[in-house]
Amino acid sequence: MEEKGLSIKAVGITKRYSKNKIGLQPMSMDIKSKSFVALMGPSGCGKSTLLKCLNGDNPATYGEVYIHGLSLLDHYDLVKKNIGYVPQDDIIHRELSVYKTLFYSAKLRLPDGTSNQEIDRRIDKVLKSLKLDQHDQGDTPDQKDIKAKKVKELSGGQRKRISIAVELLTEPSILFLDEPTSPLDPETIDSFLNSLKELAKEGTTIIMVTHKPEDLNYVDEVVFLGVKGHLVFKGPPADILKHFNVSSIIEVYSEMSDLKAVKKLYQAPSDTLPSTDSNPKISRSKADSSLRQLYWLAKRYLNIKTNDSGNLFLLLLQPLIVGGLVSLVFSEFRIGVLFLTVISAIWFGVSNSAKEIVGELPIYKRERMYNLNINTYILSKLIVLALIALLQVLIFTTIIYFNFSFRAVSEFPDTYLRPFAFSVAFLFFISFSASLIGLFLSSYFSNTEKVMTVVPITLMPQIMLAGVMTKLDSRIVEILSFFTLGRWGTEGFARMQDGYFQDRDMEPESVIIPEFNPDGYYKNDCKCETSGALEQLGLYDADLIDKGVLIGDVFNNQYANLIAVGLLSVIMYLLIFISLNKKDSL
């Protein structure tokens, strides 16, 4: 299929979304190398859809796309390195500096062994080619070099250019841009489009979605789509008015919003390819999964977290406030404190992670297209989230520990949380596991609002099924509780406290028990008269266990609790993987 001078050849491509919704009507087109092409049409006509079909972000349902003569779907791993793509949303993190943004992208995308000097050379080159090395007009000379500025301090136009700069680092031969000029003011547009024009002259084919008629002055060719994904025009900008027999581009827009007029001008493909696969999936290699990628991803993520000092401060303030409140409200270490400690650990984990994937979805998707490995991505998140959770749990447990050790309580002189190190370790494990729940929500839903709506719904069962608010009294409720960290956390933490006393032949009720439960609880098939924190949980009603309604204390040891939490974590990890994997073929 190699044809000289062609960058892209699309043959009979058609796009159907789910429920047979039309994305694109069949169309064919050739795009010459080194040309600068504008893609126009009324809102919702399928411009972004076409762009995604051509670059593999969301492949066509039927038909074939060839990039430099290679089938996009069959040779995606080869072809993708030639493709630069900036979707409508920014694909850069706002918290990083411009230099770090480009540096990490280079580390993640460029081949192993690319030297730092080479990376710096490329960064300077792309900044220059996008005219980003010049100072803004309003800038005084002593103002920061753009490389040192944080992305969030940039103007919309500069941010867009940094997104493009990220793509240019790998020197792609084709660059797809979705509405890059929308956030720009007219003056910036001129310098921006001139720099693109130069790029095209130097050898990069550029396909740019735009709404602005004045952008046509800079491009070599225009592709115009009418409503419902019909191709109605492809040719030089000078011919467009004649073709539609109108006097301004605005009129073309209004005409092409009318389906009847569109159907008259629709350019159906002459060549069609039978396609057998109506659910195309791109072949991706696993070649780029490596420890190196994990290292740079985790490092970047940590950098993002530490740069956002306001948020970091709030994260660490949380355990201080909650720990302080618990200390204030409870005068002694009782079951309520134990329960709230576990629920706080769960809360920290879920709330730390719930926004972390959904908040950077455009970035994730773009990097996934390029070379990101899903497991590497999840692990990089977990490493940093674990660190944060550890800090929070440490602060929280320290407050609780010291508060209840030093406060004299006349009835229970020895009351305090113990043993400290095990408590921290156990709570950390719970919090880490809760991070996986948050990450799952973050990977499953498509926007942050939805995630934030669902977070409380996932937390409620943790609270309700822990056996503290109420007794578990039916098999169904009990089985549901097996799927919550609330249950395993509270049970395990209580067992840990009790274990401390049992090991030392101390009388637990003299130290920890505000209310003694005369029924005792089940242990190794016998009713035990001992009393401890564990027994105060409404998890093992002796009568219900006798009647066979409840399973009760299934495992009866600390390790079983840890294994249960571990299993829940593994399930969550798999769910995260599945949700992320599903995003590939949306």
253: Cα within 13 Å, side-chain hemisphere: 13
Q: Which amino acid is at 267?
A: Q
Q: For the CA atoms of the chain, what is the radius of gyration?
A: 30
Which one among 20, 43, 140, 245 touches ligand ADP, defined by CB under 6 A?
A: 43
48 touching ligand ADP, by CB under 6 A: yes
| From the list Mg ion, ligand ADP, none, partner contacted by residue 319 (C-beta under 5 to 8 A by kind) | none
Q: 207 with 175: CB under 8 angstroms?
A: yes
| From the list ligand ADP, Mg ion, none, partner contacted by residue 349 (C-beta under 5 to 8 A by kind) | none
SS (H, E, C) 288-316: CCCHHHHHHHHHHHHHHHHHCHHHHHHHH
**Minimum CB distance to Mg ion, residue 48 (Å):** 3
Nearest alpha-carbon partner for 126 in 79, 175, 77: 175
Which one among 7, 28, 49, 561 touches ligand ADP, defined by CB under 6 A?
A: 49
**Minimum CB distance to ligand ADP, residue 209 (Å):** 6
Q: Is the dihedral of CA 423, 426, 429, 435 positive or negative?
A: negative
Which one among 12, 26, 46, 508 touches ligand ADP, defined by CB under 6 A?
A: 46
45 touching ligand ADP, by CB under 6 A: yes
Whose Cβ is closer to Mg ion: residue 48's or residue 129's? 48
**Minimum CB distance to ligand ADP, residue 48 (Å):** 3
Whose Cβ is closer to ligand ADP: residue 221's or residue 308's? 221
CA 171 to chain centre: 26
Whose Cβ is closer to ligand ADP: residue 43's or residue 283's? 43
Tell me phi and psi for residue 71, to 5 degrees.
Answer: -60, 130
**Minimum CB distance to Mg ion, residue 49 (Å):** 8
**Site map 236..275 versus ligand ADP, x via CB under 6 A:** ----------------------------------------
Q: Considering only the stretches 15-23, 29-37, 153-161, 311-319, report the one whose residues sit in contact with ligand ADP under the rule CB under 6 A.
A: 15-23
**Minimum CB distance to Mg ion, residue 43 (Å):** 8
CB count, 10 Å around CB of 353?
28
61 touching ligand ADP, by CB under 6 A: no
**Minimum CB distance to ligand ADP, residue 183 (Å):** 16
**Of all residues in this chain, which one has the CB nearest to Mg ion in the complex?**
48
CA distance 517 to 25: 73
Q: 146 with 127: CB under 8 angstroms?
A: yes
Exposed/middle/buried for residue 410 (C-beta within 10 Å: 0-12, 13-18, 19+): exposed
Whose Cβ is closer to ligand ADP: residue 23's or residue 492's? 23
- Longest Cα–Cα distance of the chain, Å, equals 97
532 touching ligand ADP, by CB under 6 A: no
CB count, 10 Å around CB of 459?
20
Q: Which residues bind Mg ion (CB under 5 A)?
A: 48
Which one among 11, 12, 29, 47 touches ligand ADP, defined by CB under 6 A?
A: 47
**Minimum CB distance to Mg ion, residue 87 (Å):** 9
Give the position of tokens 């498509």. 446
| From the list ligand ADP, Mg ion, none, partner contacted by residue 44 (C-beta under 5 to 8 A by kind) | ligand ADP
H-state helical runs in 354-474: 361-370, 374-406, 420-444, 448-464
Segment (H or E) for 65? strand 62-67
CA distance 504 to 322: 31
44 touching ligand ADP, by CB under 6 A: yes
The token duo for 114 is 């690319």
**Minimum CB distance to ligand ADP, residue 178 (Å):** 7
Cis bond upstream, residue 419 (ω within 30)? yes
| From the list ligand ADP, Mg ion, none, partner contacted by residue 259 (C-beta under 5 to 8 A by kind) | none
Which one among 17, 313, 555, 559 touches ligand ADP, defined by CB under 6 A?
A: 17
**Minimum CB distance to Mg ion, residue 245 (Å):** 27
Tell me phi and psi for residue 263, to 5 degrees.
Answer: -60, -35
| From the list ligand ADP, Mg ion, none, partner contacted by residue 23 (C-beta under 5 to 8 A by kind) | ligand ADP
586 touching ligand ADP, by CB under 6 A: yes
Q: Is the dihedral of CA 330, 336, 342, 344 positive or negative?
A: negative
293 touching ligand ADP, by CB under 6 A: no
Size, binding site for ligand ADP by CB under 6 A: 12
Q: Is 532 helix (H, G, I), strand (E, B) or coil?
A: coil
Which one among 2, 4, 20, 21 touches ligand ADP, defined by CB under 6 A?
A: 21
| From the list ligand ADP, Mg ion, none, partner contacted by residue 586 (C-beta under 5 to 8 A by kind) | ligand ADP
Q: Considering only the stretches 40-48, 302-310, 349-357, 472-480, report the one whose residues sit in contact with ligand ADP under the rule CB under 6 A.
A: 40-48
- DSSP letter at 144 equals P
Q: Which amino acid is at 437?
A: I
- Residue numbers at the binding site for ligand ADP (CB under 6 A): 17, 21, 23, 41, 43-49, 586
